[in-house]
Homo-oligomer: A and B are copies of this chain.
Amino acid sequence: MERIGFIGLGIMGKPMAQNLVKAGYQLVVHDINRGAVEEVAAGGAAAAASSKEVAAQSDVVITMLPDSPDVEAVVFGPEGVAQGVRSGMLFVDMSTIAPATARKVYEALKQEGLESLDAPVSGGEVGAKEATLSIMVGGTEAAFQRAMPLFQVMGKNIVLTGGPGAGQVTKACNQIIVGLTIQAVAEALTLAKKAGVDPAKVRSALLGGFAQSRILELHGQRMIDHNFKPGFKIKLHRKDLAIALQTGREFAVPLMTTSQVAEMMNALIAAGNEELDHSALALVVEQLSGEK
């Protein structure tokens, strides 16, 4: 059984690491948050003082970090993963970062004789805890097959969509569709409400037809209940759309509507709501409609 290093024990990373421990893997973990490290260590994982030390004790290193600069720091920094690697190791970054950064990491580690995968996830904290995450993977088929037993401990819908960076591109596509569909449902249900039609009945009616989506089902209900407890925080979705827009610029794809929804998220954050669930985009539409 491969020895697993896990770096980044936040809301997502902690339950993912814990699921690997429960599945019987030997884990060595690291995070700047000592409390999270101790919690995972209490379940049977070893703690390491740096990313370099994690890498030195592992066959596969998994990272789950907030953003591109964090991944670059953890990989290339002074006590980083790249300092502790040996040829034949596998590096799997499950953070949501820019595809360009994922490709940069891939190329750099390849020089050291390592294979890398970018493998961002979707499904949130609940998916991480229940091991039902969707995992979108970019890299070689061989590396994908090697990581598969680990992915199966953390998720359910696991797809290799292409070479290095393809997982991150797929995740950007996911966040575009999720963000725009939330905005769509927000505009529709706000219109219904202000036109005197029960949004709950509209949601039910539309779920049976062509407007059906998981967003209408779940976030439509959140909007009806005005339940914006996260879930997936709007500030994280804005970060993800920034990645999508950056990737659009890189490949010359003007993402007109994505950029508008990103600005809607900015409006929500400007109003002090950055910690709310992304379904709170409905609050922007309501505010524009004169509601307090």
Contacts and interface: CB of A to CB of B under 8 A. Distances in A.
A68 interface: no
Contact of A178 (B134, B211, B261): B211
Given A195-B169, A213-B181, A260-B260, A285 B189 contact: no
Contact of A176 (B122, B188, B258): B188
Given A188-B173, A211-B174, A257-B260, A136 B289 contact: no
Interface stretch (A41-49, A76-84, A144-152, A247-255): A247-255
Contact of A260 (B156, B205, B256): B256
Nearest first, the 3 closest Cβ-Cβ pairs linking A and B are A157-B208, A213-B213, A180-B184
A99 B248 CA distance: 38
Contact of A134 (B208, B247, B256): B208
Q: Is the interface of A mostly helix, strand, loop or mixed?
A: helix
Nearest to A288: B254
16 contacts: A134-B205, A134-B210, A159-B201, A161-B205, A173-B206, A176-B187, A180-B180, A180-B257, A181-B211, A181-B213, A183-B257, A191-B255, A212-B214, A253-B285, A256-B260, A257-B257
A261 B188 CA distance: 14
B210 A192 contact: no
B254 A184 contact: no
A253 B159 CA distance: 40
A216 interface: yes
A10 interface: no
B191 A176 contact: yes
